[in-house]
């Protein structure tokens, strides 16, 4: 999507919008996911696998601290959480970025509930020492997994709620310890969530700054291309202009491609313009130019440009004199079929016609684009001298033109 498609999602200062929960608007989020989803999946997979290793190491401490629930600890950690975590590692590369974030947040919350339950369920005097594991899990989710800030809020709020519920309902926990544990979990949640916010804000703003720079660069490139196109286009007829014609000629001569040039002039155009006025003259030029554009579009290897005034030029990949002559006849016929009324012709024909000079590039002798145009122009004036509404072929050997009606 280019800047024009994204600009409605920028703020008043021209920066991409970002809400208070550090979420991109949908088009920007889709672009971010397309660019970074593979990297995100790789980071999540490695973090989950590392976290899973340390998570199961707590089974070792459970033998000493939770002897009354060691069996339950092994079942929950190794038998339930571990296979589900491995399934998540496999799945997150195969589901959408949105559902990846949702599943990861839900999974880490489920993982967190297990040590909370073991802490609450155990009546071992040493079981209270497992409370520190809860803070580490909260920090892991917010800082190592780096949950997206919206899901970090949901996870941290849920973790705080179940922990406070466990503290409040644990019958063998005295008030001083309950107070101390409450302060610890509140501190852990606030610290981890703040760290997550800083990291996510930095990630989001860095991406938006990069995106803005890319879009500005793209906009500048598009503007440059637009200005270049305008500089190569005739404003009145929308055909390529003489500068564009020169570029095409130099390119063809540089590649030594066989080339034919047709120089075309609207017959008696001055009298048409003087009689009907400039607006009518401009309209006549546009209609003839449209006709030429259609012919060029339907002719393989053809290029048409406005040479200047009422003159136009066709360039054609040269495939022989007969092909160039066939194109000249087609142009004469189609312009005549336009039936543009010309009330001021001295020959009494009464409609707009054109005269054409045809020349072909000769690679057997030294030549230039200007030589080709001069030859086509000479052939054009030969056609005009002999009555107009016809074309003339330039004979490079005899250095004269042959008129064909």
> Where does the pLDDT of residue 237 fall: very low under 50, low under 70, confident under 90, or very high at 90 and above?
very high
Average pLDDT over residues 227-238: 76
Greater confidence, 232 or 331? 331
Task: Give the contacts of 117 (CB within 8 A, at least 6 positions apart).
Answer: 76, 166
Catalytic residue among 101, 133, 200, 310: 310
What pLDDT does 4 receive?
45
Taking CB atoms within 8 Å and a gap of at least 24, the contacts of 382-388 are 382/357, 383/355, 383/356, 383/357, 384/265, 384/267, 384/355, 387/347, 388/267, 388/268, 388/347, 388/353, 388/355
Give the number of other CB atoms < 10 A from CB of residue 387.
Answer: 12
Tell me, yes or no, if the pTM score tops 0.75.
no
Q: Whole-angstrom Cα distance, residue 268 to residue 310?
A: 10
Q: Of 105-119, 209-223, 332-346, which gets the smallest average pLDDT? A: 209-223
| Tens digits of residue pLDDT in 239-266 | 999 988 998 998 888 888 889 999 999 9
Average pLDDT over residues 209-226: 69
Give the number of other CB atoms < 10 A from CB of residue 7.
Answer: 12
pLDDT at 157 over 50: yes
What pLDDT does 5 receive?
47
Active site residue 310: yes
What pLDDT does 84 receive?
95
| Tens digits of residue pLDDT in 292-335 | 999 999 999 899 999 999 999 999 988 888 899 999 999 999 99
Give the β-pairing of 302-308 and 400-404.
unpaired
Q: Report how far apart, in Å, the C-alpha atoms of 220 and of each of 199, 215, 224, 268 are.
A: 32, 8, 6, 45
What pLDDT does 228 receive?
58
Share of the chain above pLDDT 90, in %: 64
Q: Whole-angstrom Cα distance, residue 395 to residue 401?
A: 5
């Amino acid at each position: 999507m280019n800047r024009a498609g994204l600009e409605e999602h920028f703020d008043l200062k021209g920066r991409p919008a970002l809400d208070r929960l550090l979420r991109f608007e949908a088009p920007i989020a889709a672009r971010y996911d397309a660019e970074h989803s593979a990297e995100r999946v790789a980071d999540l997979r490695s973090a989950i696998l590392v976290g899973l290793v340390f998570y199961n190491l707590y089974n070792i401490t459970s033998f000493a601290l939770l002897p009354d629930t060691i069996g339950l600890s092994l079942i929950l950690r190794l038998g339930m959480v571990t296979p589900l975590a491995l399934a998540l590692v496999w799945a997150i590369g195969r589901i959408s970025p949105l559902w990846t974030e949702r599943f990861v947040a839900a999974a880490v919350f489920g993982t967190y509930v297990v040590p909370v339950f073991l802490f609450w369920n155990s009546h071992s005097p040493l079981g209270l020492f497992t409370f520190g594991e809860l803070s580490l899990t909260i920090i892991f989710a917010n800082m190592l997994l780096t949950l997206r800030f919206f899901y970090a809020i949901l996870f941290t709020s849920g973790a705080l709620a179940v922990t406070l519920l466990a503290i409040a309902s644990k019958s063998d926990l005295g008030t001083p310890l309950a107070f101390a544990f409450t302060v610890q979990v509140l501190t852990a949640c606030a610290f981890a969530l703040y760290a997550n916010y800083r990291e996510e804000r930095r990630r989001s703003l860095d991406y938006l700054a990069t995106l803005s720079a890319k879009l500005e660069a793209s906009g500048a490139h598009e503007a440059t291309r637009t200005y270049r196109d305008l500089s190569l286009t005739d404003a009145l007829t929308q055909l390529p202009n003489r500068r564009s014609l020169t570029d095409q000629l130099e390119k063809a001569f540089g590649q030594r491609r066989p080339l034919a040039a047709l120089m075309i002039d609207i017959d008696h155009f001055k009298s048409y313009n003087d009689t009907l006025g400039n607006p009518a003259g401009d309209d006549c030029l546009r209609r003839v130019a449209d006709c030429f554009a259609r012919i060029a579009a339907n002719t393989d290897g053809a290029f048409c440009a406005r040479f200047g005034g009422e003159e136009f030029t066709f360039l054609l990949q040269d495939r022989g004199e007969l092909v160039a002559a066939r194109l000249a006849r087609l142009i004469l016929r189609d312009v005549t079929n336009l039936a543009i009324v010309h009330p001021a012709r001295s020959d009494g024909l009464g409609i707009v016609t054109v005269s054409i000079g045809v020349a072909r590039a000769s690679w057997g002798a030294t030549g230039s684009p200007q030589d080709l145009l001069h030859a086509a122009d000479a052939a054009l004036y030969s056609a005009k001298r002999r009555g107009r509404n016809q074309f003339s072929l330039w004979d490079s050997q005899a250095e004269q033109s042959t008129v064909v009606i």
